[in-house]
Structure 1
Amino acid sequence: MKAAQDRQKSYADLRRRPNEFEVGDKVLLCVSLMKEVVRFGARGKLSPCFIGPFDIVEKVGKLAYRLALPNALAFSRVLDPEASELDESLTYEEQLVRILDKKVHSTRRKDITMVKVLWSNHRSQEATWETEHSMREQYPHFFSQVSKLLGRNFVKGGGRR
């Protein structure tokens, strides 16, 4: 097994070239994908894997560079540590803020009710579609209030009357 791995590695090493850049070069930035989140104007399969090109401003380390990013990619939201409860891994749980829309997704055998959910520390463009059943399980107190407010404003298909 080790001999086969070494042989394959030797083939791959012949085709690999070092990726070192200089100040002034242009590079593409790899973007990690998140399910159902609109990033850079598209979501899902259509969202880009790479964005750019961006200029290299400074070489920070052997393989680390500082890029000239546009203001649109700057961190627009800074969390207040006292306002959000961070755990040991410096993560926090998102909280349901508001339901923006409701629709019914019909399959051959059943109808699935979906709700468009606005999460805490997110903008309305980043709202996600979740199943109403799972949201009712996680936030039952929220839905008792929402059902009174929405009443019969929503009809099958997601539109308003």
Structure 2
Amino acid sequence: MSTDLPSRSRIVHEALRGAGIAGDIVVLPDAASTAALAAAALGVEVGAVANSLVFWSDGEPLLVMTSGAHRVDTARLAERLGRGEIRRATVEQVRAATGQVIGGVAPTGHPAPLRTVVDEGLATYERIWAAAGTPHTVFPLTFDELVRLTAGTVVAVV
């Protein structure tokens, strides 16, 4: 199955299997580079889509896995995490930190582990969906699997 995937998604697939996560990567016919597009393509609530947002804080990338129904309040998040200013990473910073493009950033499969925050709002969904390395690929997992996969800190992001 993984040989039919784009190369970036094959990396994600291997990372998922290595972490014991069994959900298969789904290739969508159209790009789903936003939570709303992914939710529509999958027939799920937008909140069940785990947006992978890369920010820059204290001189390093910060991956925020947030519910598609939420907008990250960066000032509050910085305060909760005890960090300096949190701002959106540039396109170049996202690519360097993740090896993936905006709209397709997966929670795993990066060149090096990223400090990750997981939105506590995702816990309300039995199954959530995340990008799998490209805007055309996604995969299902549980909230607990996402936290374990990313070694993320669970926190309110709104």
Q: Structure 2 length normalisation: TM-score?
A: 0.24
Larger radius of gyration: 1
* Higher helix content, 1 or 2: 2
